[in-house]
């Protein structure tokens, strides 16, 4: 869908992007609520409450973005949509940490060090890209802060990928982390293209946002922490 719209031109890409991101983010919200309903303990329920708040924040942000762009015909960035994006991004590290808690006995200092170094590298790279930007208004500040926040979110997220490689967590958990990686790539591309004046909704950066939303839906729906813990317990016995 993205490729077809992109080839048809800018106007088609803008409409496609706005009409696709809304149902995908609503699916994220529905998936989070579904996970809350099937949670069997308080910790798991709290984990998915955090995910649901994050999903609702980004879904509201996408609705505001589309309303500004398609109906009100005003510039969607910066706008009130950024409040939703920021709230959701700030919640994500807590969600990933909560997701890791049942597996803390498998997390070594080496895993933490690797994940922090990778996340810190992304923060440094994002800061380097932001250096030419003179942050004299809110829009330029947001262009700088989003990729930096992504690097912070990816610090606990990369631990999940490592545990997935070590087969301590299932593959669906890793999908949540790959979703965040895709979002981080999208934010970096958004920063670059907005700075040089080539960004528009439905351009390359939005492909990574759509991919990230989709991976969040599949990852959250399929992750099964309780089943993994049962398998680990049997193996340990």
Question: Residue 56 has which token pair?
Answer: 């609702």
**Residue 113 has what pLDDT?**
93
Query: Which pLDDT score is estimated for 237?
Result: 33
**HEC secondary structure over the chain:** CHHHHHHHCHHHHHHHHHHHHHHHHHHHHHHHHHHHHHCCCHHHHHHHHHHHHHHHHHHHHHHHHHHHHHHCCCCCCCCCHHHHHHHHHHHHHHHHHHHHHHHHHHCCHHHHHHHHHHHHHHHHHHHHHHCCCCCCCHHHHHHHHHHHHHHHHHHHHHHHHHHHHCCCCCHHHHHHHHHHHHHHHHHHHHHHHHHCCCCCCCCHHHHHHHHHHHHHHHHHHHCCHHHHHHHHHHHHC
Quote the pLDDT of residue 235. Answer: 41
Domain ranges for the chain, please list them.
2-236
Q: Which of 120, 50, 52, 152 is closest to 91 using CA atoms?
A: 50
* Class of residue 4 by CB neighbours under 10 A (exposed 0-12, middle 13-18, buried 19+): exposed
Give the position of tokens 């439905």: 202
pLDDT attached to residue 27: 96
pTM of the entire predicted model: 0.88
Mean pLDDT in consecutive groups of 10 residues from the start of the chain, 237 residues: 83 89 95 94 93 97 93 89 95 95 90 91 80 66 89 93 87 91 94 88 92 95 58 39
Asked whether the beta carbons of 99 and 160 are under 8 A apart, the reply is: yes
Q: What is the pLDDT of residue 210?
A: 95
CA neighbor of 179 nearest in space, from 148, 116, 221: 221
The pLDDT assigned to 227 comes to: 38
User: What is the reported pLDDT for 170?
Assistant: 84
């Amino acid at each position: 869908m993205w490729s077809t719209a992109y080839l048809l031109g800018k106007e088609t890409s803008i409409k496609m992007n706005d009409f696709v991101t809304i149902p995908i983010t609503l699916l994220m919200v529905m998936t989070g609520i579904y996970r809350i309903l099937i949670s069997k303990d308080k910790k798991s329920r709290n984990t998915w409450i955090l995910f649901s708040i994050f999903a609702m924040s980004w879904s509201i942000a996408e609705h505001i973005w589309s309303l500004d762009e398609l109906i009100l015909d005003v510039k969607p960035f910066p706008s009130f949509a950024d409040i939703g994006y920021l709230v959701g991004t700030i919640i994500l590290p807590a969600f990933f940490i909560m997701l890791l808690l049942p597996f803390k006995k498998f997390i070594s200092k080496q895993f933490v060090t690797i994940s922090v170094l990778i996340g810190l590298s992304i923060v440094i790279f994002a800061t380097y890209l932001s250096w030419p930007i003179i942050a004299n208004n809110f829009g330029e500040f947001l262009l700088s802060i989003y990729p930096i926040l992504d690097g912070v979110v990816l610090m606990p997220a990369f631990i999940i990928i490592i545990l997935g490689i070590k087969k301590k967590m299932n593959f669906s958990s890793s999908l949540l982390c790959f979703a965040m990686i895709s979002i981080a790539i999208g934010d970096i591309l958004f920063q670059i293209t907005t700075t040089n004046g080539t960004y528009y909704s439905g351009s390359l950066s939005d492909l990574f946002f759509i991919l990230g939303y989709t991976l969040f839906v599949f990852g959250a729906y399929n992750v099964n922490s309780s089943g993994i813990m049962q398998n680990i317990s049997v193996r340990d016995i």
